[in-house]
Amino acid sequence: MSEIQKLMRTQTPYLTDGGFETWLFFVDGFEAPEFAAIVLMDDEEARAAMRRYFDRFLVLAEQAGTGYVLDTNTWRGCPDWAPKLGTTGADLLRLTAEAVAFAKETRDAWITRVPSIVLNGVIGPAGDAYAPGRLPDVTEAFQAHLPQVEVLSKQGVDMISAITLSNTSEAIGIVRACASQKVPVVISFTVETDGRLPTGQLLSAAIEQTDAETGAAPLYYMINCAHPDHFKEILSGDAAWVQRIGAVRANASRLSHAELDMAEELDDGDPVEFGGLHVQLAERLPNLRVFGGCCGTDHRHVGCVSKHLHHKTAA
C-alpha cells in the first residue's frame, strides 16, 4: 500500500509540523527575504536548525503511534519569486530539489519509528497570499507553477500541497499542473477573520469551483494560516464541501493577516486552548486526516492537538 493510500484510509489523524517560517525566523533568529526559508538550504547552520525543528514533531508522531506528513522547505520556490529574492528561477528550482533530498534524509532517519511518512512537496502562491494584487488566470498559474511541480514530481514526492492560496484561478492552475505530472495534490486556502478568502470569495464557493473545474482532482482541501475562530462557524458537517476538507493548519494568533504582517514579535497564543479548539473542528470536519499548525505554532501546539484528538480517537 502506498503512503497516499495509507493517508486516505486512515482512522487516526496524521500529524504534521507547525509554523516553520515563524519558528525559523522569530525563534531561531535566521533571516531571509520575503520569509523565503528555501534560500537557507545552502546554510549548514540553518539545515541543522531544520533537523531539530522537524525532529520535535516526529517525536510527537512516534508517541501518538500515527503517521506524519513531512513538508519540504519550498513554499517560496516558485520561480516568479526569484527577482524579489535576489536569485534566479533556475536556482530556486535547484534549491527545490535540494529541499526534497533534505526531507528524504529526515524521512530515512525516522521511518523505523514512525509507521507512515508522507513526503509532501510544498508550493506557495506566485504572489503575496494576503495582498494578492492582480490575480493570475488559470493558464498563467499553470505556467508559473509547472516548473516547480515538475521538479518536485521528478524528485519523488508522494504528493504536493499548495498552501496559503488566496484565489481559485491559481488553485485550478496548480491542480492542472500536478495532473500533467500525475502527482497527487492538496489545495489549501487561507481565509481572513470573516472566514472568506482574501479575494472576498466564500470558502465554500472556492472549494466547489475548484472541484467543478478540475473534476474534483484534489485529494482533499486544507485550511491554513487562520485562527480556528476565523472559520469554525462556517463549517457544517452536512455540507458536501465541508466533507472535502481533510486537514487544518491553523494560526496560534487571532490577529488578522494585516496585523500579523506588522507584528514585530511572535504571537504564539495559548497552546492548550489551541488543542481544545481542534476538538471542536474535528466534530465539524468528518474527514479530517491531517492536522498541524501555521504561523506562531510549534511542537507545543501540535502536541496539545495530538493529546486531544488522539486520546479521543483511542477512546
Per-residue pLDDT tens for 301-310?
999 999 988 8
Cell numbers 500536478: residue: 178
pLDDT of residue 132: 63
Cβ count within 10 A of residue 67: 23
Other Cβ atoms closer than 10 A to 95: 24
CATH of 3-314, one of 1.10.1060.10, 3.20.20.70, 3.30.160.150, 3.20.20.330: 3.20.20.330
What's residue 267's pLDDT? 81
Structural contact between residues 300 and 272, judged by C-beta atoms closer than 8 angstroms: no
Residue located via cell numbers 488559470: 138
pLDDT digits (tens, 9 = 90+) for 253-290: 887 777 776 666 778 899 999 999 999 999 999 999 99
**pLDDT-flagged residues of the chain (< 50):** 313-315
Question: What's this model's pTM, rounded to 2 decimal places?
Answer: 0.95
The pLDDT of residue 244 is: 97
Q: Is 208 exposed, middle or buried (0-12, 13-18, 19+ CB in 10 A)?
A: middle
Domain boundaries, the chain: 3-314
What is the spatial distance between Cα 59 and Cα 39, in angstroms, rounded to a whole number? Answer: 27
| Mean predicted lDDT score pLDDT of the chain | 94
Instruction: Report the pLDDT value the prediction gives residue 314, as an integer from 0 to 100.
Output: 43
Return the closest-CA partner of residue 156 out of 81, 222, 89, 96: 96
